[in-house]
A and B are shown apart, each in its own frame.
Chain A
Amino acid sequence: MTQASTAAADAVTTTGTTVRYEHIDKSFGNTPVLHDIVLEAPGGTTTCIIGPSGSGKSTLLRCTNLLEIPTAGRIFIGDEAITDKGADVDRIRTRVGMVFQNFHLFPHHTVLDNVTLAQQQVLGVSRDEAVETARANLAAVGLAAYENRRPSQLSGGQQQRVAIARSLAMNPEVMLFDEATSALDPELVKGVLAVMRDLASRGMTMIVVTHEMRFAREVAEQVVFLDQGRLVEAAHPTEFFESPRSDRLRSFLDEVL
């Protein structure tokens, strides 16, 4: 990964875009999923969101690129209120990359074309430029030699790294990770986390829903605990893991650590 990391420096330009959640509510029908979430993910830092399943972590993340629309409240990417009426959803999504639990690569395209497609179709860059950007990003995740493969010919870990490269090629200001390593075999988790660490160290604003407590402890500047749709605690990892304030977080940490 070390060689890859150097190459990656060219592939990603870092910005310090802050994400702010102001009193977010979200319900599905009559089922409340998120309640009054107030949170700031400061530009250039990594925020990890943890919590039991069904706590609303993924929903909060999905609100951040408008895959879900909050029932109430506002979300800001930098200065732009993305939840306001008339917001250009497709353009906003180019500012916010998202990586999914199950990769969701385009199975009918090669690795290279997975990474070039949206560049050409959305950003309107030329084929040559898109290929160049794609190759730099594939190199950054250590997959330069795989550009002509099909997703089905890759391991889960490799697929997830392609998915990360695909997002990064859009030059996003913020990256969202929705349990990006949960579907992977244990021996493949490391490679993906290494890419994420690398990205964090270069100052990408990242919001990471994860079960990887070690990653949260070592990489995050802020760790957030959601439970039953409420934000229970948000703190620096040292404080979060060493001296949790709430009983609910204490018992959750007892169970997972």
Chain B
Amino acid sequence: MDGLKQIWDTFFDLDLIGSTLPTLLKEGLLNTLFLTVLASAIGLVVGIFLASGLMSRFRVLRLPCRWYVDILRGLPHILSIYLIGQGLPLAGLTMFGNWTYGYAALAIGLMEGAYMAEIFRSGFQSVDKGIVEASRSLGMSHTKTMRLIVIPIGFRRVLPALTGQFILVIKSTALVYLLGLAAGQREMFAIAQDTSTNNASLSPLVAAGLFYLAITVPLTYVVNRWDKRMREGRPAAPTAPAAVRTEEALV
């Protein structure tokens, strides 16, 4: 029974969890979400370009993309964060000034881009060659076929895998502390860790864990619903041109 009580006190000190929550909510959550969205946006763009490069007919395009993906997927994340987040400013590339988040988002984004590239490549390559031929047969160029047919279809197919990657990004944002944070810049994990150290208890980390779950579980659920709906198509709508416009806007 002693062991159980110790576990409870270490991880589930309700008072401490309760007192950490407001800071997590006010400061940490927004910072985490902001960093996640920024890093993911960079990762998505980098990933799509890398994926196109990986599928290129030309070696000069294919090989550098291959190296990029292999190296950034192979290095420990912490090292990549240092290399990009501290290496860039040291090299005189201070495009974000003193704004740590810029370097952090760029570092995480460039890293995630390598993972997303492989996800996208598998998605794009899963698009039926016949559909590509149908598009080309209608006179659509290679580029238009990629942009309007292969990428949208492939993107939808890898949505569940991308969600998994997105969740990894959310958790990767914790690594921003490596680059040093000013007041008000702490994301959820940094806040939890500080509180944890100050109180010699792991409960604040559990509090942060609850927040991570509160983001990731509903997200997974929503994406799976969306994925299912796209797979099965939506119920036949009554003839309404407005519905057609919405479809167009989606692509």
Beyond known contacts A93-B136, A106-B153, A122-B144: 6 more, CB 8 A cutoff: A67-B137, A109-B247, A109-B251, A148-B236, A153-B233, A170-B138
Interface stretch of the complex, out of B76-84, B90-98, B238-246: B238-246
Contact: A117 with B153, CB < 8 Å?
Answer: no
A32 to B89, CA, bound (A): 60
Contact: B140 with A90, CB < 8 Å?
Answer: yes
**B160 within 8 A of partner (CB):** no
Contact: A90 with B133, CB < 8 Å?
Answer: no
* B window 111-168: CB within 8 A of A: 128, 130-131, 133-141, 144, 148-149, 152-153, 156
What residue of chain A has the Cβ atom nearest to residue B236's Cβ? A149
Total interface residues on B, CB under 8 Å, equals: 34
Q: Binding site of B, secondary structure by majority: helix, strand, loop or mixed?
A: helix
Contact: B239 with A110, CB < 8 Å?
Answer: no
Contact: B232 with A104, CB < 8 Å?
Answer: no
Task: Select one of A108, A122, A131 contacting B156, CB under 8 A.
Answer: A108
Given A108-B152, A122-B139, A153-B236, the answer on whether A100 and B247 have CB atoms closer than 8 Å is no
Given A104-B131, A104-B133, the answer on whether A113 and B248 have CB atoms closer than 8 Å is yes
What residue of chain B has the Cβ atom nearest to residue A62's Cβ? B133
> By CB atoms of chain A within 10 A, which of B139, B156, B236, B243 has the most?
B139
Contact: A67 with B138, CB < 8 Å?
Answer: no
Residues of A with C-beta under 8 A to B240: 148
Interface residues of B (CB under 8 A from A): 128, 130-131, 133-141, 144, 148-149, 152-153, 156, 230-234, 236-241, 243-244, 247-248, 251
What residue of chain A has the Cβ atom nearest to residue B153's Cβ? A108
Total interface residues on A, CB under 8 Å, equals: 37
Contact: B239 with A145, CB < 8 Å?
Answer: yes
Interface residues of A (CB under 8 A from B): 65, 67, 90-91, 93-94, 96-98, 100, 102, 104-110, 112-113, 117-118, 121-123, 131, 145, 147-150, 152-153, 163, 166-167, 170
A145 to B247, CA, bound (A): 18
Given A104-B133, A108-B153, the answer on whether A113 and B138 have CB atoms closer than 8 Å is no
Residues of B with C-beta under 8 A to A122: 138-140, 144
Given A113-B247, A121-B144, A147-B239, the answer on whether A67 and B233 have CB atoms closer than 8 Å is no
